[in-house]
């Protein structure tokens, strides 16, 4: 068993992160497996070495140890380009020149109703999807989106094992998991093709400024690091559906996903989303012990 904790060094480690890290760590250690720390620093504008150092120090203080050397996503550009190239060559990606404002105004056009919001914000209304696609070399310096409809068609065809696709209303059987699904269910989680198509849509797989995206990098690196169990918050459930689809398209093994509940305060608000959610370092300074942190998050 290999599990991982994959923080972005863009701020302090808080209780919600600590909970996720402890769950992933304990799962591996209880099975005599390996725990991996991966630094998700593709956002060069927001990532800071100081935050990475602080995160590592907090995790060590909590009693965690991990495999070394630690992988940094900023060093993996070539692997991401290779994965993007494979999707690009099959016509599954298209270049998108829309900025946030373009997406918002297209999605709020009078006949469109309320814009749908997916895991990455407003579901892309498809403005650039129909532009002619020149399938030559993978372009650089432009955003690339996954053509969700084509990708799902490919997935359905291959699932059914013949040229005829699995019918549209068949369930998207994503993965096995030992944690909870969005409705509290356990076991194999189902979603629908329609949900991926309409509520997730053409997600960005390469940002113009990074040349990759969270979704693409995480899938490529979980496979590269032979992660067998991904432990993450249930807020990432829709992201997991994207990841399972990408694993399929890229021919990568799918890990088992364990979605855990989010750490909440007394009023039920998610700590991660609150400005004043306390950093682990503040608890330390106030005299808390690692055991106190474990008990605060219910472990
Ligand atoms: N870097 C991501 C985060 O901190 C990793 C989460 C995941 O992929 O499980 O939210």
pLDDT of 237: 86
Ligand 1: distance of its center to the CA of 233 in Å? 9
For ligand 1, atom 9, which residue shows the shortest CA distance?
232
User: In this model, does residue 152 exceed pLDDT 70?
Assistant: yes
How many Å apart are CA 163 and CA 292, to the nearest integer? 57
- CA within 13 Å, CB half, 5: 27
Q: Indicate the pTM of the whole model.
A: 0.90
pLDDT of residue 131: 85
- Find the 142 Cα to ligand 1 centroid distance in Å: 24
Residue nearest to atom 7 of ligand 1 (CA): 232
What integer is the mean pLDDT of 39-55? Answer: 96
Atom of ligand 1 nearest to the CA of 231: 9
Q: Which residue has the CA at smallest separation from atom 1 of ligand 1?
A: 7
Protein residue with least CA distance to atom 5, ligand 1? 6
User: 228 preceded by cis ω (within 30°)?
Assistant: no
CA of 7 to the centre of ligand 1 (A): 6
Q: Which atom of ligand 1 is closest in space to residue 7's alpha carbon?
A: 4
Is the CB of 6 inside a 6 Å radius of any atom of ligand 1? yes
Six-digit token string for 285: 């300074």
CB–CB of 30/3 below 8 Å?
Answer: no
What is the predicted pLDDT for the residue at 55?
A: 97
Distance 6 CA to ligand 1 centre (A): 5
Closest CA to 111 of 128, 124, 125: 125
How many Å lie between the centroid of ligand 1 and the Cα of residue 240? Answer: 11
Atom of ligand 1 minimally distant from the CA of 230: 9
Taking 70 as the threshold, does the pLDDT of residue 176 lie above it? no
Residue 272 confidence (pLDDT) above 70: no
Element (H, E) at 17: helix 15-30
Instruction: Give the tens place of pLDDT for each residue, 81-140.
Output: 999 999 999 999 999 999 999 998 888 887 767 888 898 999 999 999 998 877 689 999
Residue 92 CB-half CA count within 13 A: 24
Domains and CATH numbers, the chain: 1-75+263-299 (3.40.50.620), 76-226+234-252 (3.40.50.620)
Retrieve residue 164's tokens: 């005829």
Which residues, other chains included, contact 215 with Cβ-Cβ below 8 Å and sequence gap of 6+? 203, 204, 205, 239, 242, 243, 246
Mean of all residue pLDDT scores within the chain: 88
Ligand 1: centre distance to CA 239 (Å):
10
């Amino acid at each position: 068993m290999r599990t991982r904790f994959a923080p972005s060094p863009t701020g302090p480690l808080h209780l919600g992160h600590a909970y996720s890290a402890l769950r992933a760590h304990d799962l591996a250690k209880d099975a005599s497996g390996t725990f991996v720390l991966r630094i998700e620093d593709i956002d060069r504008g927001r990532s800071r070495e100081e935050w990475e150092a602080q995160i590592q120090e907090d995790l060590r203080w909590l009693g965690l140890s991990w495999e070394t050397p630690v992988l940094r996503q900023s060093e993996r550009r070539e692997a991401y380009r290779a994965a993007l190239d494979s999707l690009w060559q099959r016509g599954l990606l298209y270049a998108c020149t829309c900025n946030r404002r373009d997406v918002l105004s297209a999605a709020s056009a009078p006949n469109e109703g309320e814009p749908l919001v997916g895991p990455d914000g407003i579901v892309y209304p498809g403005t650039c999807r129909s532009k002619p696609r020149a399938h030559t070399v993978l372009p650089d310096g432009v955003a690339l989106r996954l053509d969700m409809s084509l990708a799902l068609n490919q997935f359905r065809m291959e699932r059914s094992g013949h040229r005829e696709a699995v019918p549209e209303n068949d369930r998207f059987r994503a993965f096995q998991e030992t944690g909870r699904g969005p409705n509290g269910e356990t076991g194999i989680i189902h979603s629908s093709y329609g949900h991926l198509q309409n509520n997730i849509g053409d997600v960005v797989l390469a940002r113009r400024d990074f040349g990759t995206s969270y979704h693409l990098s995480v899938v490529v690196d979980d496979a590269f690091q032979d992660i067998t169990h991904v432990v993450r918050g249930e807020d990432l459930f829709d992201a997991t559906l994207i990841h399972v689809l990408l694993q399929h398209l890229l021919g990568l093994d799918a890990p088992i996903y364990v979605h855990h509940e989010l750490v909440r305060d007394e009023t039920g608000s998610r700590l991660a989303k609150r400005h004043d959610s306390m950093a682990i370092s503040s608890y330390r300074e106030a005299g808390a012990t690692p055991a106190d942190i474990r008990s605060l998050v219910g472990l």
